[in-house]
Structure 1
C-alpha cells in the first residue's frame, strides 16, 4: 500500500498511473495481437469443420451406390406382399404367389396351480439352470442357451432373463393361468422341434410345459412361387437377387420397378447445395474486409463501453481474419477444377457435370456456384443412374510414378472422389496453420506464434513492475527532499522568530 503527496501535495498515484499507461501500450498491442491470432485460429478451425462436414456428406451421399438404386415398385395387390430394392442395380419385375406364410413355433402350457409370477424360484424349482434351444434367424437350431436360476429371484424376473438371453418370448397369463413360449424367429426345422427345453425337469413340470401336457404348435416356412420357381423361406421377409420381399397374406401379385428419379435427384441436389454453401463460406471469409483501425479492445477500453458498443466494435475488429488466405483460395480453385475436368475413360456423352445438366453459374459474382438444369438432370437419372454413379464415384486403380511409388489416378477418378482428395489436402494445410482443438501450441504455426507472444507479454509484465517501482522510488525521493526543505525552512523561520 502506497501513499504519496504528503509533502508535495501532488496526486502521485494518478501521476504514476498515467505514466504507466504509456508504458503499457506495448503490452496492450501484444494482447491485441494475441486476441486477433486467436480469432484467426478459431476461424481456420471453423472452416476445417465445414470442409470435414462436406467431405463426410459426399461419402454418405453421391459416392454411395445405394443412393442411385432408389426404385419405385408398383404392385397389382399390395395386400399380398411388399417389394423393395435392396441392392439390385437394374430394374426388375415379375410375379409372386404366396402359398403359405411363415409362422413361429409356440408352446402353451396347461393350466398351472399354485403358481404366481411373484413367487421366488426356490419355491418352484431346485434346479440351478435352464436351457432353451430355438430356431435362429437363419432357420437353424441354435446350440442351446443356458439361463442361470437365482433362487431368490421371482418367476417374473426369471422370465425376463429368458426373453433377453434366448431365442424365445415367454410370459405368464394370469387370466388363463398358463405359460406361453414363442420362438422369436419363424420357420420349420425339418425333423426337429423349433423350441426345446432341458436342464430343469421340475421347473418344466411345475410350469406345465412338458411334452404330452403342453400344446405345441410347429413352426412353418413361408411357401411361395416367384416367377415360376416354387421355393420357401424360414421368414416372411427375405432377399433374393438384391430385392427384398415381405409376404403379408396368401394370394398373388405382380410387381414392376422403375428408378425413383426424385430420390436420386434429391441426393445430387443436396450435394450441389452443400458445395455451393461451402464455397460461398470460403469466398466470403477470404474476401471479407479487414478494418485495421478497429483493433481488439483492451480491458480498460471494454470497461468504458456498453455491451452493445463492444459487440459492434468486435464485429469489425474480428472481420477479415482469413482475408486473402492462399491455402483456402487455392483449395476452392482446385475444387472448381476437379468438377470442370472430364473423367477420363468414361463415355464421352457422360463424363462431366454438364452432361447431366449441372453447370457453373455465368454470373462471375457467384464465384463458381453450381446451377442445376432440373429437366436435364432428371432425364439423365431416368436413363442411366449407374452411369451417374460412376461419374461421381469412379474408383480407378492407383498409378505408379517414375520412382515406383503409387499415387491416385486423378484423371480417371470420379468427381466426388476428387473433391474428397482436394478437401483432405486443404484441411491438412489448414491444420498445419491452426491445429486441432486438442493440439498443444507448439504443434502448429499459429500456436507457436501465440506461445511466443505469451512469453513476450510475461517478460514485459515483469519489466512494467520494475518500471513502476522505479517511478515510485523517484517520487518518494522527491517527497523526502521536499520534506527536508520544508523542515529547514521551518527551522530558519523559528530562528529568525
Structure 2
C-alpha cells in the first residue's frame, strides 16, 4: 500500500526476507490508521441513519400531521345525486349536510363558429381545392371571461399552398400581437361530419370571437368556403343557468362551481316536465364516518411506523466483535459475507441515543395526554385508541367500532382531540399540533447532529465536523506511514551494507590467514 523513493536492498547480504519483515512491522504501524478508518465508517453510518430519520420525520410532519390539521379530514361527507348523469359533486370541509334541489336549465358554452357541409381534402392545399385563390390575412379578436376588459387580436397569414391542417395549426397557436399571449382558441375539422369549427377554450357569456376585421374579399371567401356565416361575425359563449333550491343562478361562466360547500359538476341539462317546469335533481349530503375513521387510522399507522423504527434503533443489540471491515478484509470475503458482517457492525449504533429516546418519550406522552374538549371524549383512549401492553413501547391500536361510535356521538370533540388550537400547558392544544411541534424540535436536533442530505461539502453539523477531523487524522497517519516505511527500508539497507562490509572483511582476513 505504501511506496518509497529509497532503493531497496532486500536481503542480498543477510538473506532476510526484508519485504515480509517490513510488511509485518507496517501492519503494527497501521493499527491506529485502521482504527481511524473504522471510526470514520461508523460515524458515516450514523450520519446516514440520522439524516434518513430526519427525512422521514419531516415527511410525517409536513404530510400526515399537516393533513390532520385540516377540517376536511374530519368533516367528511358523501354526495349523492338522483340525476347523476346530469349532476355530480363532492364536498369540501365546509359542506353542510342536508338535501338540496338542483335543476340545470343551460350548460356553459364557449363562443364558437361552426361551418357545416364543408368538403375538404386533407391531402390537398386550399388553392388546389378552390378554397383560396391567393394568400390572405385572417384577422381574429378574442375576449376571455377571465379578463373581459382586454381583447386579444391576431393577424394570421393564410397561404393558398396551406392545407386545412396548416390553417388549424395557425389558429390554435395564434397569439396576441401586443402581449404575445395565446388567443385560447381551438380549431378542428371533422371529415366525417364535414364540419369546420373555431371556438374558445373558455366558456361563459363573456367569451367572444369577433371576425369583423376580415374585410378583404380573399379573407371573406376563405371564411365562406369554410362554412362560416360572415353576415354575423361575432359569436359569444353562454353561462350556466341553474335553479338551486328555487333560486335562479345565471352568473356561472363554467359548468363547475361550489355552493354550500359542495363542488358541483354539471354535465347536461335536467330537462323539463310535462308542464314545462324544470326537472330538479335531489342532491343529498351525508356524513361519511368511515372516511374519517380511515383518516385517523392512517395517522395511527404512520405514527406507529415512526415509533417502531425509533424503538428498534434505541434497543438494538450491540455486537462489539463486529467492527467495520477494511478494504483489504473485504477482498477476502463474498458480497453475502460482507452484507451479513456489516449488518452486525451497524447494530446498536444508536442504542440509548439521547435524542431518539427523548423524541420517543415525548411522542408517547403526547398520545397519552388529555385534551380539554368540553366532552367526555377528551383523549385517544376515550375514542378507542391506545396501547395493549407496556411491551408495545408506545405502539397504538384502533378499536374501529369504538372510534366510529365516538364520531357518531360527538364529532366535534373527536376533531378537537386532534386539531384543536390552544396551549399545551393548559391542556387545550390538540394532539396533532403537539406532535407537529415535537417533530420540529426533533428535526432541529437531528439537523444539528447530522446536517441535511445533500450538504456534505459544507456540513457544519456535529458529526460533519467530527468526520472532517477524522479525515485530517487519517491524512496525517497516512503521511506518517509513508515516512515510517521509508525509515524501515533505510534501516534495513544500512544493515545490508554493514553485513556486506563485514562479510568482505571476513573474507579478506581468511584469505590472509590462508597465505601464512
Which of the numbers 338, 341, 358 marks the counterpart of 2:385?
A: 358
User: Superposition pairs for residues 433-452 of structure 1, below 5 Å?
Assistant: 433-437=449-453, 438-440=455-457, 443-452=460-469
State the alpha-carbon separation in 2 of the partners of residues 469 and 410 from structure 1.
72
Q: Does 1:180 align with 2:200?
A: no
Which of the numbers 213, 227, 230 marks the counterpart of 2:248?
A: 230
| Cα separation, partners in 2 of 1:158 and 1:12, compared to 1, 3 Å | same
State the alpha-carbon separation in 2 of the partners of residues 3 and 150 from structure 1.
90
Q: Does 1:165 align with 2:165?
A: no
Match of 2:417 in 1: 391
For residues 152-200 of structure 1, the C-alpha deviation after alignment (integer angstroms, 9 at most, x for no partner) is 89424302304992243212345676531123233335xxx83323555
For residues 333-359 of structure 1, the C-alpha deviation after alignment (integer angstroms, 9 at most, x for no partner) is 111222222223x21323322232212
State the alpha-carbon separation in 1 of the partners of residues 374 and 36 from structure 2.
60
- Scaled by the length of structure 1, what TM-score is found? 0.86
Cα distance, 1:421 vs structure 2: 0.5
Q: Does 1:472 align with 2:489?
A: yes
Q: Does 1:10 align with 2:16?
A: yes
Which of the numbers 340, 345, 357 marks the counterpart of 1:329?
A: 357
Cα distance, 1:21 vs structure 2: 0.5
| Structure 1 SS opposite 2:280 | strand
Match of 1:79 in 2: 85
| Structure 2 SS opposite 1:351 | coil
| Structure 1 SS opposite 2:285 | strand
Match of 2:470 in 1: 453
Which of the numbers 377, 400, 419 marks the counterpart of 2:403?
A: 377
State the alpha-carbon separation in 1 of the partners of residues 135 and 76 from structure 2.
55
Decide which moves more: 465-474 or 217-226.
217-226
Decide which moves more: 364-373 or 73-82.
73-82
| Structure 1 SS opposite 2:318 | coil
State the alpha-carbon separation in 2 of the partners of residues 340 and 125 from structure 1.
80
Match of 1:38 in 2: 44
RMSD of aligned C-alpha atoms? Answer: 3.1
- The answer to whether the Cα contact below 8 Å between 1:118 and 1:156 also exists between their aligned partners in 2 is no
| Structure 2 SS opposite 1:246 | strand
- The answer to whether the Cα contact below 8 Å between 1:147 and 1:165 also exists between their aligned partners in 2 is no
Decide which moves more: 1-10 or 284-293.
1-10
Cα distance, 1:216 vs structure 2: 7.7
Cα distance, 1:229 vs structure 2: 1.7
| Cα separation, partners in 2 of 1:341 and 1:94, compared to 1, 3 Å | same
- The answer to whether the Cα contact below 8 Å between 2:112 and 2:237 also exists between their aligned partners in 1 is yes
Q: Does 1:194 align with 2:194?
A: no
- The answer to whether the Cα contact below 8 Å between 1:58 and 1:416 also exists between their aligned partners in 2 is no
Q: Does 1:424 align with 2:432?
A: no
State the alpha-carbon separation in 1 of the partners of residues 190 and 315 from structure 2.
73
State the alpha-carbon separation in 1 of the partners of residues 323 and 155 from structure 2.
72
- Scaled by the length of structure 2, what TM-score is found? 0.84
| Unpaired stretches in structure 1, ≥5 consecutive residues | 399-407
Match of 1:298 in 2: 326
State the alpha-carbon separation in 1 of the partners of residues 439 and 285 from structure 2.
37
State the alpha-carbon separation in 2 of the partners of residues 124 and 315 from structure 1.
80
Which of the numbers 267, 280, 290 marks the counterpart of 2:308?
A: 280
- The answer to whether the Cα contact below 8 Å between 1:110 and 1:215 also exists between their aligned partners in 2 is no
Matched residue pairs, number? 479
Q: Does 1:133 align with 2:142?
A: yes
State the alpha-carbon separation in 2 of the partners of residues 167 and 380 from structure 1.
52
Match of 1:404 in 2: none
Cα distance, 1:143 vs structure 2: 2.0
- The answer to whether the Cα contact below 8 Å between 2:154 and 2:174 also exists between their aligned partners in 1 is yes
| Cα separation, partners in 2 of 1:105 and 1:131, compared to 1, 3 Å | closer
Match of 1:319 in 2: 347
Match of 1:105 in 2: 111
Cα distance, 1:19 vs structure 2: 0.6
Match of 2:4 in 1: none
Cα distance, 1:120 vs structure 2: 9.6
Q: Does 1:249 align with 2:261?
A: no
Decide which moves more: 255-264 or 66-75.
66-75
Match of 1:64 in 2: 70
Cα distance, 1:24 vs structure 2: 0.7
- The answer to whether the Cα contact below 8 Å between 1:80 and 1:252 also exists between their aligned partners in 2 is no
State the alpha-carbon separation in 1 of the partners of residues 496 and 174 from structure 2.
93
- The answer to whether the Cα contact below 8 Å between 1:204 and 1:210 also exists between their aligned partners in 2 is no
Which of the numbers 41, 51, 58 marks the counterpart of 1:52?
A: 58
State the alpha-carbon separation in 1 of the partners of residues 419 and 295 from structure 2.
14
| Cα separation, partners in 2 of 1:430 and 1:187, compared to 1, 3 Å | closer
Match of 1:349 in 2: 376
State the alpha-carbon separation in 2 of the partners of residues 37 and 214 from structure 1.
79
| Cα separation, partners in 2 of 1:12 and 1:379, compared to 1, 3 Å | same
- The answer to whether the Cα contact below 8 Å between 2:64 and 2:302 also exists between their aligned partners in 1 is no
| Structure 2 SS opposite 1:61 | helix
| Cα separation, partners in 2 of 1:387 and 1:124, compared to 1, 3 Å | farther
Decide which moves more: 263-272 or 238-247.
238-247
